[in-house]
C-alpha cells in the first residue's frame, strides 16, 4: 500500500489538532470572555449578531484552515510526494536530497510560525477593517492567539516526528553536504515560550473571568437590595419627572457606576447623561429578568447591571444600575504580560544556553576524538550536575578512557601488522635478490677456481729454472686481473646484504634521518628483480638534492615506495611497461610520484582505498599494502598520500614527506 503524500499527512494532523482545539475552546470562549448567559446560539444572538456564535466559530476555524493549507502548499513544494523522495534516493541525486533534508530540518519550525502568525495576522487585519469596537474584541483576539499558539505547538511536535522519518530515509554522509543547523537553544525557545504564553494567557483570562463573575455577583446582589429598598412593592410611576429624581438618590459603590431608566417606549436616561449600548438595552429588555434582573453590556464586556421592573401608568419602566466589574484600563494587564513574557524569554534563553554549553563541551571532545587530533585523550570533563547531562558527561569520560585503551592497543596491533607485512615484503625481496645474486656468485666461483689454478701453477713454477721472471710477472698480472674482476661483484653483494640488513633491522639512531641518495639506491636494489622479471622499465626523474636529509627510518619509506612500484608493475596485464618515478623538492617537503600507464583503479574501489583493507588482485593480494603504506606515511612521517587514477589510462600515486623540521632534529 502506497504511503500518502507527506503534506497531506501533516495537513491531516493539522486539521485534527484544530478540530480537537475547537472542541475544547468552543465552550471555553464564552467562559473566558464572560459572555452573558443566553446571548449565544439563541434567537437573541441571531437578531443582534445576524450570525450565531457557532457559525462565527466555524467561519474563523475555516479561515485558519484555508490559510494553513495555502502555506502547506508552498512549504512542501519540493517534497510533496514520497515517490519523489524515494526516486531521489535511488538515483543518488545529492542536490535534490540536500534540498529535501534542508527543508526537513527547517519546515517544522516554519510550520509552527506560519500556523501562529498567519492566522493571527489575518484575523487581526479583519478586526482592524471591521474595527475594534471595545475591549472585548481585544480580549477575543488574545484568546484566539492563545488557541493558535497551542495548535501550532501541537502540530510542531507531530510534524517533527514525521520529518524525522524523512531525515532517516534520506540520510547520507553529512560531511559531504552543507549542513542546515538549527541550534538547540532555539528549539528549546520555540517549544517552551509558546506554551508559556498560552498558559499565561489562559491563566490570566481564567483568573480575570473568575474575579469578574465574583465581583459582578457581589455588586449585583448589593445593588439589587438597594433598589428593592428604594422602590417598595407597589410603587407606581406616573411620569418621567417622578423617576428622574431617583437618579441621584441611590449611592454608587464606584465612581464609574451609573443609574439609568428605560421608559415603556424604549427611551432611556442615565445619571451622567452617557449612552447605553444597543446590546445593553436589548439584553435588559429581553433577557435580564430571565436571570433575576442581571444584565450585561455586550459579549465579554466588563460592564454589567442590576435592574428592576417598575409599574407605570403607560406601561412598565426599567430602573437599574450599570457597573464595571474590572478596571477600565488594560494597560497594567498588557504591561504585566509583556514583562512576564520578557522575563520568561530571558530565563529560557539562559537555561537553554547552559544546556547548550554543556553539550557543546562534550561534542567538542567527541569531535577531537573523531578527527584524530593529538589530544592524548586527556580531556576529562568535570561532572557539574546530577541529571541526564551529568550522565552524558560521565559516559563521555568512560568512552574517552576506553578510547585511550583502544588507541593504545590499535597502535600495538598496527606495529605488529606493519612488521608482518614488512617481513612478507622482505620474503619477496630476498627471493628476487637471491636470483640477482646468482650471476655474481657464479662469476666469483669461476674467478676463484681460476685463481686456484694460477696459484697451483705459480707454486709448481717455484725452483723451475725454465720459468723466467717474465713468466712470474705474467702469472701475477693474471691473478691481479681476476681479483679486479671480483671486486665489483663483491661490492654489489655488499650493497645487497646491507640493504637486506637495513630493511630487517631498524637503526638505533632514533630515526634522525637518511639521504635521498641512500633511499634511491635501496629502492633500485630491491625493485631490480621484479622489474627484470616483468620486463618493465622505470625512469627516474630526481628534481632534488641527493644529499637532502629525510627524517625518519629509511626502511619504512623504502617499504612504501617498493609497494607502490610493485603495484604499478602489476597494473600492466602483459610484460613490459614504463614506470615514472619522480622526486620533487617543495622546500618544506619532498613529493614522490610513482606513475604507470596500466589498467587504472576501478572507480567503485577508488573511494575505499586507504580506508579499508581491499585488493584488486584477487587471491594474489592481501590488501594490506596500501593500507599499511597509508599508516606509515601518516603515522611515522607525518605526511600524506593520495592518488589519481583513470580506468584504462593508468594511475599516479603521490607521497608527501615533510622535511622542514630536519634542522630541529639534527640540532
Higher pLDDT, 536 or 367: 536
Least confident of 1-5, 156-160, 165-169: 1-5
Helix (H) or strand (E) holding 140: helix 135-169
User: DSSP code of 271?
Assistant: T
In this predicted structure, what is the pLDDT of residue 427?
Answer: 61
pLDDT at 284: 92
Pull the grid cell for residue 104: 526537513
C-alpha–C-alpha distance, residues 296 and 288, integer Å: 8
**Confidence band, pLDDT 50/70/90 cuts, at residue 618:** very low
CA angle 82, 84, 89 (to 5 degrees): 95
- Asked if residues 336 and 328 have their Cβ atoms less than 8 Å apart, the reply is no
CATH topology of domain 214-331: Beta-Lactamase (3.30.450)
Query: Does residue 87 surpass a pLDDT of 60?
Result: yes
Examine the pLDDT at 269 and tell me if it is beyond 80. yes
CA distance 354 to 107: 26
Better-scored residue on pLDDT, 558 or 200: 558
What is the CATH number assigned to the segment(s) 510-667?
Answer: 3.30.565.10
Euclidean distance between CA atoms 70 and 49, whole angstroms: 30
pLDDT: is 241 or 372 the higher one? Answer: 241
| 6-39 tens-digit pLDDT | 555 667 777 777 788 888 888 888 888 888 999 8
Torsions phi, psi for 249 (to 5 deg):
-90, -45
Q: Which grid cell sits at 45? A: 444572538
Per-residue pLDDT tens over the stretch 452-502: 877 777 777 777 767 777 777 777 887 788 777 777 777 667 766 665 655
At CA 198, angle to CA 196 and CA 201, rounded to 5? 105
Question: For residue 214, is pLDDT > 50?
Answer: yes
pLDDT value of position 621: 47
What's the mean pLDDT in 52-65?
A: 84
Read off the pLDDT band of 440 (50, 70, 90).
Answer: confident
pLDDT score, position 389: 73
Residue tagged 641527493 (cell numbers):
546
Rg of the chain, C-alpha, whole Å: 49
The confidence band for 504, taking pLDDT boundaries of 50, 70 and 90, is low
CB-based contact 198:154 (threshold 8 Å): no
Q: Using DSSP, state whether 537 is helix, strand or coil.
A: strand
The H or E element that residue 305 is part of is strand 303-312
Considering the entire predicted model, what is its pTM?
Answer: 0.52
Pick from 241-245, 532-536, 622-626: least confident? 622-626
pLDDT of residue 509: 44
Distance CA 164, CA 7 (A): 14
Any bridge partners for residue 651, and if so which?
596, 645
**Distance (Å, rounded) from C-alpha 260 to C-alpha 322?**
8
> Is residue 152 within 8 Å of 194, Cβ to Cβ?
yes
What region, left, alpha or beta, does residue 518 occupy, with left being phi > 0 and alpha being psi -120 to 50 degrees?
Answer: alpha
pLDDT at position 666 is 39
Label residue 553 by pLDDT band (50, 70, 90): confident
Cα torsion through 285, 289, 293, 298, rounded to 10: -50
Sign of CA dihedral 339, 341, 345, 347: positive
N-term to C-term CA, the chain: 75
Residue 540 pLDDT class (50, 70, 90 cuts): very high
pLDDT reported for residue 434: 67
Q: Where do runs of H (alpha helix) occur along 505-623?
A: 516-534, 554-570, 603-606
| pLDDT above 80: residue 96 | no
Q: Long-range contacts of range 293-296, CB-CB < 8 Å, 24 or more positions apart?
A: 293/220, 293/224, 293/320, 294/216, 294/220, 295/36, 295/320, 296/34, 296/36, 296/39
Q: Are 288 and 307 in contact (CB under 8 A)?
A: yes
Interatomic CA distance for residues 14 and 116, integer angstroms? 12
Strands (E), 196-341: 236-237, 258-262, 268-270, 294-296, 303-312, 317-324
Residue 252, helix vs strand vs coil = coil
Domain coordinates in residue numbering, the chain: 6-173, 214-331, 399-505, 510-667
β-partners of residue 629 are none
Q: Which of 100-109, 247-256, 537-546, 555-564 has the lowest mean pLDDT?
A: 100-109
Do 182 and 141 contact (CB within 8 A), yes or no? no
Of 76-85, 221-230, 398-407, which one has max mean pLDDT? Answer: 221-230
Between residues 630 and 461, which one has the greater pLDDT? Answer: 630
User: Is the sign of the CA dihedral 556, 561, 563, 566 positive or negative?
Assistant: negative
Best mean pLDDT range from 204-218, 306-320, 504-518: 306-320
Q: Is the pLDDT of residue 617 over 70?
A: no
Q: Is the pLDDT of residue 541 over 90?
A: yes
Euclidean distance between CA atoms 661 and 647, whole angstroms: 38
Q: What is the pLDDT of residue 65?
A: 78
Indicate the DSSP class of residue 608: T
pLDDT of residue 136: 67
- pLDDT score for 544: 92
| Helical H segments across 535-639, by residue range | 554-570, 603-606, 624-637
Q: What is the mean pLDDT of residues 593-620?
A: 75
77 or 298: which carries more pLDDT confidence? Answer: 298
Cβ atoms within 10 Å of 34's Cβ, excluding its own: 24
pLDDT band per the 50, 70, 90 thresholds, residue 175: very low
Amino acid at each position: 500500500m502506497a504511503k500518502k503524500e507527506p503534506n497531506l499527512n501533516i495537513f491531516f494532523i493539522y486539521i485534527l489538532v484544530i478540530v480537537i482545539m475547537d472542541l475544547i475552546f468552543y465552550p471555553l470562549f464564552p467562559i473566558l470572555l464572560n459572555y452573558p448567559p443566553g446571548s449565544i446560539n439563541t434567537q437573541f444572538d441571531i437578531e443582534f449578531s445576524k450570525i450565531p456564535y457557532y457559525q462565527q466559530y466555524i467561519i474563523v476555524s475555516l479561515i485558519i484552515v484555508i490559510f494553513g493549507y495555502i502555506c502547506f502548499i508552498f512549504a512542501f513544494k519540493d517534497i510533496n510526494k514520497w515517490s519523489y523522495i524515494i526516486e531521489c534516493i535511488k538515483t543518488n541525486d545529492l542536490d535534490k536530497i540536500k534540498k529535501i533534508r534542508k527543508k526537513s530540518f527547517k519546515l517544522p519550525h516554519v510550520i509552527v510560525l506560519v500556523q501562529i502568525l498567519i492566522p493571527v495576522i489575518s484575523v487581526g487585519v479583519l478586526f482592524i477593517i471591521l474595527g475594534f469596537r471595545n475591549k472585548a474584541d481585544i480580549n477575543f483576539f488574545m484568546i484566539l492567539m492563545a488557541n493558535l499558539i497551542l495548535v501550532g505547538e501541537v502540530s510542531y511536535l507531530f510534524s517533527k516526528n514525521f520529518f524525522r522519518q524523512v531525515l532517516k530515509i534520506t540520510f547520507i554522509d553529512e560531511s559531504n553536504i552543507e549542513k542546515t543547523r538549527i541550534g538547540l537553544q532555539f528549539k528549546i525557545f520555540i517549544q517552551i515560550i509558546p506554551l508559556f504564553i498560552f498558559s499565561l494567557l489562559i491563566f490570566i483570562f481564567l483568573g480575570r473571568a473568575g474575579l469578574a463573575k465574583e465581583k459582578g455577583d457581589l455588586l449585583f446582589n448589593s445593588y439589587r437590595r438597594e433598589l428593592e429598598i428604594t422602590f417598595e412593592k407597589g410603587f407606581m410611576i406616573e411620569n418621567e419627572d417622578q423617576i428622574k429624581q431617583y437618579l441621584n438618590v441611590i449611592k454608587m459603590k464606584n465612581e464609574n457606576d451609573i443609574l439609568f431608566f428605560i421608559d415603556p417606549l424604549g427611551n432611556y436616561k442615565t445619571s451622567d447623561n452617557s449612552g447605553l449600548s444597543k446590546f445593553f438595552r436589548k439584553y435588559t429588555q429581553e433577557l435580564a429578568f430571565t436571570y433575576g434582573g442581571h444584565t450585561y453590556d455586550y459579549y465579554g464586556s466588563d460592564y454589567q447591571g442590576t435592574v428592576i421592573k417598575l409599574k407605570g401608568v403607560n406601561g412598565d419602566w426599567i430602573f437599574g444600575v450599570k457597573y464595571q466589574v474590572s478596571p477600565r484600563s488594560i494597560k497594567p494587564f498588557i504591561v504585566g504580560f509583556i514583562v512576564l513574557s520578557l522575563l520568561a524569554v530571558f530565563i529560557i534563553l539562559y537555561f537553554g544556553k547552559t544546556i547548550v554549553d554543556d553539550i557543546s563541551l562534550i561534542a567538542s571532545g567527541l569531535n577531537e576524538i573523531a578527527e584524530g587530533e593529538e589530544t592524548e585523550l586527556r580531556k576529562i570533563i568535570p561532572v557539574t550536575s546530577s541529571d541526564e547531562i551529568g550522565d552524558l558527561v560521565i559516559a563521555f569520560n568512560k568512552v574517552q578512557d576506553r578510547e585511550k585503551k583502544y588507541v593504545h592497543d590499535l597502535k600495538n596491533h598496527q606495529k605488529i601488522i606493519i612488521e608482518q607485512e614488512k617481513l612478507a615484503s622482505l620474503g619477496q625481496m630476498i627471493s628476487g635478490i637471491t636470483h640477482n645474486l646468482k650471476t655474481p656468485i657464479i662469476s666469483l666461483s669461476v674467478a676463484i677456481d681460476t685463481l686456484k689454478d694460477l696459484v697451483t701453477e705459480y707454486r709448481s713454477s717455484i725452483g723451475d729454472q725454465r720459468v723466467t721472471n717474465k713468466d712470474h710477472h705474467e702469472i701475477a698480472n693474471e691473478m691481479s686481473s681476476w681479483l679486479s674482476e671480483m671486486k665489483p661483484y663483491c661490492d654489489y653483494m655488499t650493497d645487497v646484504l646491507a640493504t637486506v640488513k637495513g630493511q630487517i633491522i631498524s637503526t638505533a639512531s632514533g630515526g634522525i634521518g637518511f639521504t635521498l641518495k641512500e633511499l634511491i639506491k635501496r629502492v633500485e636494489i630491491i625493485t631490480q628483480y621484479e622489474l627484470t622479471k616483468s620486463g618493465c622499465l622505470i625512469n627516474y626523474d630526481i628534481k632534488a638534492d641527493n644529499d637532502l636529509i629525510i627524517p625518519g627510518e629509511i626502511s619504512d619509506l623504502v617499504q612504501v615506495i617498493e609497494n607502490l612500484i610493485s603495484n604499478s608493475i602489476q597494473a600492466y596485464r602483459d610484460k613490459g611497461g614504463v614506470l615514472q618515478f619522480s622526486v620533487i623538492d617543495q622546500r618544506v617537503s619532498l613529493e614522490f610520484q610513482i606513475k604507470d600507464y596500466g589498467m587504472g583503479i576501478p572507480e567503485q574501489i577508488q573511494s575505499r582505498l586507504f580506508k579499508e583493507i581491499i585488493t584488486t588482485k584477487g587471491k594474489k593480494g592481501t590488501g594490506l599494502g596500501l593500507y599499511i603504506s597509508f599508516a606509515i606515511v601518516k603515522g611515522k612521517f607525518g605526511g600524506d598520500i593520495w592518488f589519481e587514477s583513470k580506468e584504462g589510462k593508468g594511475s599516479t600515486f603521490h607521497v608527501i614527506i615533510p622535511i622542514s623540521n630536519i634542522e630541529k632534529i639534527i640540532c
